Chains A and B, each alone.
Chain A
Amino acid sequence: MSTVVSNPAAVVAAPTGYRPRLNIAKWLSIAAMLLAALFLLLPILVIVPLSFGDQRYLSFPDGAWSLRHYLTLLDTAWLSSILQSLGLAIVVGLVSTALSFLFATGIWLEPRYRVLLTALVLLPMIVPQVVSAMSIYYLGARVQQLDSLIGVGFGHLMMALPYSLIAMLVAYSRLDTSLYKASRSLGAGLGMTIVQVLMPNVRGGLAGSFFMAFIMSWEEVVVTLFTSGLHVITLPKRIWDGLRYNLDPAIAAMSTLMVFLTLVVLLVRLYRHDHTSSPGR
């Protein structure tokens, strides 16, 4: 009991939540965490200045900052890879979203084989990517679609579908099936119900589904490495080639753009999450 009396600060501080008091251990752990933060952010801190180097090779800007590496990105080779990746990602995003939407809608209305079928679709997410890449390579070899946009795109689709579907399932998990029954009992057909009632209600899921599939395709490396060659050179494949043999400074420029985009998307998401989540957070 005496300890309670001897430590009144803990009792007084109680209503605001448990906080360890200031002391050496706390500052040590904060210092260690800052080191961990530095470790996590180090790559980003390095890439950005490198991208403004003014030499032909990879270097830090020595007094003179330059955009020459960014201009390199507009060269035919880089630009065609960027456009190829962009096109693939958009198509994969659309197809993946459409398939996920149909499946999630159906399983929401008729959940009988829900667990089994969902597990089946999520398979490519759980299996190591190299193993998936082998399977896609096998398929490509069998149907003569290696090193073609169709073959690579199909591989991207397989890798994107699980993430796309999760976004869709989350959206539907917040929807009550009575909405469907109401729409049908008011005389709307299935097609009309889907387009005019369900789609508006899961539009966040549709957007998330497309976003996830887009990102998965945009960043896909492993399946692309297995199934592409001379004709299909997506952006990640070009970066991979640039990393294997030398360090192409254009990669620094591309990376800086990606860091910037990632930061923007992340801030928007955190901001929206902050304003939509419960106050208990």
Chain B
Amino acid sequence: MRIYALLILPLPLLIVVGYLLPTLGVLGWSLSLPKVGLQNYATILDSAAIQTVIWRTLRICLLTTVISVAIAYLIAFRWRFASARGRLLIELFVLLPFWLSMLIRAFAWLVLLRNDGLVNQSLMGLGLVDEPLALVRNELGALIGMVHFMVPYAVLPLLSSMRQVDDSLLRASSSLGAGRWQTLREVFLPLTLPGVAAASATVFVFSLGCFVTPALLGGGKAAMLAESIYIQMFQLSNWGLGAALSIVLMAMVAVCAVVFGKLVGFGRFTGRQA
């Protein structure tokens, strides 16, 4: 018994000392810098600038969730009815960006979307626009980058829920006279709805804490909560407020995770994090 404890305990102890206690320390900072009290949290509630950031965060996260789950559903749907070779190909193009560093992806989007980037040059070359569109270093850029980042996360839970749909149910629906569209709407879609819910929950929760992608592609003009923590800490040296924002972000993620977990069921939140 005691010998097992020697094996087990180092890791949890390290997490407690190296992670959990420092998190409490951050909570302490939020309540004591620059002076003891709740003034940092009062600032979060009062400050128009911070309210803007919070609403922008929720807005971008919601949009990201809807768009990336829609794209992912399409991909997962085609995967479901593809041949073995087709499936492998789809898995490859979903997993390649998934495993690629987010910095590299942000770099590519900057190259593509900047004023003299490929997208703007093509649009102007085709005569569709006269002057370059502002596609990046703003909220749109952050959104594009985040959708690109989240699609693979949304695909994975959808694949597993689509895999579980039994072929015989679809055949039954079709042999009972339902057209393809009706089978899709009344049989396939309801059966894959849990996957949609899981995918949406995963994407939304991950999006809330996104830092690198929106910071680089938003170019400071679309600061979300995570970036504003960084700004408070290292540009404004406002440690107390940075710590309080960090606690608020953690609380938001915790609330969402618990609520979604109740609705969707735990055990679906796995994968690499933003």
Contact = CB atoms under 8 A, between A and B. Distances in A.
Contacts of B107: 43, 47, 239, 243, 247, 251-252, 255
B26 A255 contact: no
Interface stretch (A63-71, A75-83, A118-126, A199-207): A118-126
A70 B71 CA distance: 35
Contacts of B269: 126
Q: Which of B97, B103, B106, B208 has the most CB of A within 10 A?
A: B103
B16 interface: yes
Interface residues of B, number: 88
B111 interface: yes
Interface size class of A (residues with CB under 8 A): 35 or more
Contacts of A124: 15, 19
B233 A29 contact: no
A165 interface: yes
A42 interface: yes
Interface in B198-256: 208-209, 211-212, 216, 226, 229-230, 233-234, 242-243, 246, 249-250, 253
Interface in B1-36: 1, 3-12, 14-16, 18-20, 22-23, 25-26, 29
Query: Majority SS of interface residues in chain B?
Result: helix
Nearest to B274: A129
Nearest to B84: A281
A173 to B, nearest CB: 14
Contacts of A117: 8, 12
Q: Which of A30, A113, A139 has the most CB of B within 10 A?
A: A139
A36 B5 CA distance: 50
6 contacts: A14-B171, A29-B74, A39-B148, A43-B100, A131-B23, A138-B26
Please list the 8 inter-chain residue pairs (A to B) with the smallest Cβ-Cβ separation, ordered nearest first. A128-B209, A43-B108, A106-B7, A3-B177, A106-B8, A110-B4, A103-B11, A135-B22
Interface of A: 3-4, 7, 10-11, 14, 17-21, 23, 25, 29-30, 32-33, 36-37, 39-44, 46-47, 50, 58, 99-100, 102-103, 105-107, 109-110, 113, 117, 120-121, 123-132, 134-139, 142, 154, 157-158, 161, 163, 165-166, 190, 219, 221-222, 225-226, 236, 239-240, 243-244, 247, 251-252, 254-255, 258-259, 262-263, 265-267, 270, 274
Interface of B: 1, 3-12, 14-16, 18-20, 22-23, 25-26, 29, 71, 74-75, 77-78, 81, 88, 90-97, 99-112, 114, 118, 148, 151-152, 167-168, 170-171, 174-177, 180-181, 208-209, 211-212, 216, 226, 229-230, 233-234, 242-243, 246, 249-250, 253, 257, 269-270, 272-274
